[in-house]
Amino acid sequence: MQLSDGGCTSLAELGQGIYAFLHSDSGWGHSNAGAVYADGKTLLIDTQYTLPMTQQLIETLRQAGLPAVTTVVNTHANGDHCWGNQLFPNANIVASAATAASMPHDFPPALMRRLLSPELAGSAAGRYTKLHFGAFDFDGVVVTPPTTTFSGTTTLTVGGRRVVLHEVGPAHSDGDVIVHIPDAGVVFAGDILFGDHPVMWTGPLDNWISACDEILQTGATRIVPGHGPIVDPDGVREFQQYLALVRDELTPRLYEGMPYWEAAMDIPLGPFRHLPMRERLVATAAATYRHLGNPPVPAAEVLERMAQAHFDTA
Residue 108 confidence (pLDDT): 85
User: Does residue 120 surpass a pLDDT of 90?
Assistant: no
Q: How far is it, in rounded angstroms, from Cα 274 to Cα 251?
A: 22
pLDDT tens, residue by residue, 207-216: 999 999 999 9
Binning pLDDT at 50, 70 and 90, where does residue 7 land?
low
State phi, psi for 13 to the nearest 5 degrees: -90, 120
Q: What number is the average pLDDT over the span 86-113?
A: 93
Q: How far is it, in rounded angstroms, from Cα 235 to Cα 59?
A: 30
User: Does residue 3 surpass a pLDDT of 70?
Assistant: no
pLDDT tens, residue by residue, 251-290: 999 999 999 999 999 999 999 999 999 999 999 999 999 9
170 preceded by cis ω (within 30°)? yes
Cβ contacts of residue 227 below 8 Å, gap of 6+?
23, 26, 27, 30, 31, 32, 191, 193, 194, 195, 196
pTM (2 d.p.): 0.95
pLDDT tens, residue by residue, 135-178: 999 999 999 999 999 999 999 999 889 999 999 999 999 999 99
**What is 9-313's CATH number, 3.65.10.10, 3.40.640.10, 3.60.15.10, 3.40.50.300?**
3.60.15.10
Residue-range domain boundaries for the chain: 9-313
Q: What number is the average pLDDT over the span 100-106?
A: 92
User: Does residue 133 surpass a pLDDT of 70?
Assistant: yes
Helix axes 205-217, 233-255, angle to 10 degrees: 170
Q: Which long-range contacts (CB under 8 A, 24 or more apart) does 233-236 make?
A: 235/193, 236/189, 236/193, 236/212
- A 10 A CB-CB count for 120 gives 15
